[in-house]
Amino acid sequence: MTDFGFEVGTRLDGRHGRTGVLTTPHGRIATPAFVPVGTKATVKAVLPETMREIGAQALLANAYHLYLQPGSDIVDEAGGLGRFMNWPGPTFTDSGGFQVMSLGVGFKKVLAMESVGVQRDDVVAKGKERLAVVDDDGVTFRSHLDGSKHRFTPEVSMRIQHELGADVMFAFDELTTLMNTRGYQEKSLQRTHEWAQRCLDEHERLSAARKHRPYQALFAVIQGAQYEDLRRKACRDLAAMRGGSGTEFDGSEFDGYGIGGALEKSNLGTIVGWCCAELPEHKPRHLLGISEPEDFFAAVENGADTFDCVNPSRVARNAAIYVDDGRFNINTSRFRRDFTPIDETCDCYTCANYTRAYIHHLFKAKEMLAATLCTIHNERFTIRLVDRIRDSIDNGRYDEFKAEALGRWQGSRQPH
Ligand SMILES: [Zn+2]
């Protein structure tokens, strides 16, 4: 008995998309669902109660950040992530793999500019130090906070995520980019599979040792970049994988699958489709890191059930606002005397009570409330969009809703 399950609801005709219900020890998630990100166990500038009010069904935190600060042992002592941050609903943590290799490495910052557009496997710019080194056993990296040296292996990631205690965890994988060569992608995929097996074994062992805690589900992560054969093989191999810990959980499967890694916007739907054609129907599928309306439609109709992204709150702090008619910046002077809400059709607290002129003023005056009000709106916009996609599948009018929503989104990048 694991208290974790997934049930498929309405299927989208002729495609992999579906609605469903994901059950966790901390509650249910109606899917498709957007999962807002609270990197360090907080959605920046917003109370957890407010996240609940705007319809967030679950939150995702980052294992890498919480491992460095305050330490996963402290979160464990607090009773797990949800209790620590006063969020009673379901929680997710990522494996830390993405952050150790992107933040640790200084990935984007140290890319050599002359290598853009060229496939190479070692693209550190001249004069910059590589801050993370991957080997077959794990990753050694330096903290982005204080430069201290750390090492993540599949077993370390599992221990950290069990201590954090989220309902859904992800297997530790290697991050590659579209710039890596095909040869490197193959080698990396093999490594990610070996790590997936080690994660599953360690997860079984920790689940048996920590029976005083609610069951935590483990999702495998599918890599393979833009290569169809690699993506499909990764899905088949991970779906067939079984744990071998010798504990009472021995022989268990992954509880779900995360679709990760290098994805170009133009082929996102195609890649999700390849994966979902291979993955078992009765297991949930999470797509890591998307937040734009086009991407949600592409991902949902090709079979993804849940998504996370830090963008709605990150861009809100820079005065960027999402509405049905596109994205705009509330910081520009034309809003100085605009006494209408951000979006008259939005049901969020910000739109019910505040004007564009006031929010514009808060940004100009560098007031903290600006971030709070804009984050509330952007998170509500994103959650509500995915909720409307889910309803449209259940009501048999997905294609109509998609045409209408994308028509408005792409038709105008400025509000009236
Ligand atoms: Zn709003």
Distance in Å, CA 219 to ligand 1 centroid: 33
Binding site residue list: 94-98, 173, 223, 261, 346, 348, 351, 377
Average pLDDT, the chain: 91
Radius of gyration of the chain (CA): 21
How much is the average pLDDT of 31-58? 98
Encode pLDDT of 98-107 as tens digits.
Answer: 878 776 544 4
Instruction: Give the pLDDT score at 300.
Output: 98
325 and 412 in contact (C-beta within 8 Å)?
yes
Which pLDDT belongs to residue 113? 36
DSSP assignment letter at 267 = G
Over the stretch 161-189, which tens digit does the pLDDT of each residue have? 999 999 999 999 988 877 788 998 999 99
**pLDDT over 80 (residue 369):** yes
pLDDT tops 80 at residue 157: yes
- Residues tagged in the binding site annotation for substrate: 94-98, 173, 223, 261
Percent of the chain with pLDDT over 90: 79
SS3 262: coil
Give the per-residue pLDDT at 123: 52
- Of the listed ranges 69-83, 287-301, 371-385, the one predicted with least confidence: 287-301
Least Cα distance to 271 among 257, 255, 260 occurs for: 260
For the chain, which domains are there? 5-95+150-309 (3.20.20.105), 320-410 (no CATH)
Q: How many angstroms separate the CA atoms of 60 and 237, rounded? A: 26
Distance 334 CA to ligand 1 centre (A): 19
- The alpha helices in 254-368, defined as continuous H runs, are 268-278, 293-301, 311-316, 349-353, 356-364
State the greatest distance between any 2 C-alpha atoms of the chain, in Å, as a whole number: 68
Three-class secondary structure of residue 14 per DSSP: coil
Token couple for 137 = 């056993």
Q: Looking at residues 229-244, what average pLDDT do you find?
A: 97
CB 325 within 8 A of CB 416: yes
Distance CA 242, CA 251 (A): 5
Ligand 1 centroid, distance to 359 Cα (angstroms): 12
Do 319 and 365 touch, CB atoms closer than 8 A? no
Cα of 348 vs centre of ligand 1, distance in Å, is 4
Catalytic residue among 94, 237, 324, 343: 94
In this prediction, residue 129 carries a pLDDT of 58
243 in Cβ contact with 200 (< 8 Å) = yes
The backbone torsions φ and ψ at residue 325, rounded to the nearest 5 degrees and listed phi first, read: -90, 15
Residue 110 contacts residue 128 (beta carbons within 8 Å): yes
pLDDT higher than 60, residue 1: no
Q: Which pairs count as long-range contacts for 206-215, CB under 8 Å and 24+ apart, including other chains?
A: 206/158, 206/159, 206/162, 207/162, 207/247, 207/249, 208/245, 208/247, 208/248, 208/249, 210/162, 213/80, 213/162, 213/165, 214/3, 214/25, 214/26, 214/165, 214/167, 215/1, 215/2, 215/3, 215/4, 215/25
**295 is known as an active-site residue:** no
Å from CA of 388 to ligand 1 middle: 15
pLDDT digits (tens, 9 = 90+) for 287-337: 998 889 999 999 999 999 999 999 999 999 999 999 999 999 999 999 999
Residue 89 has pLDDT above 80, yes or no: yes
Confidence of residue 409 (pLDDT cuts 50, 70, 90): very high
| Active-site residue, from 201, 255, 295, 308 | 308
Find the 315 Cα to ligand 1 centroid distance in Å: 15
Instruction: Look up 94 and say whether it is catalytic.
Output: yes
pLDDT value of position 124: 52
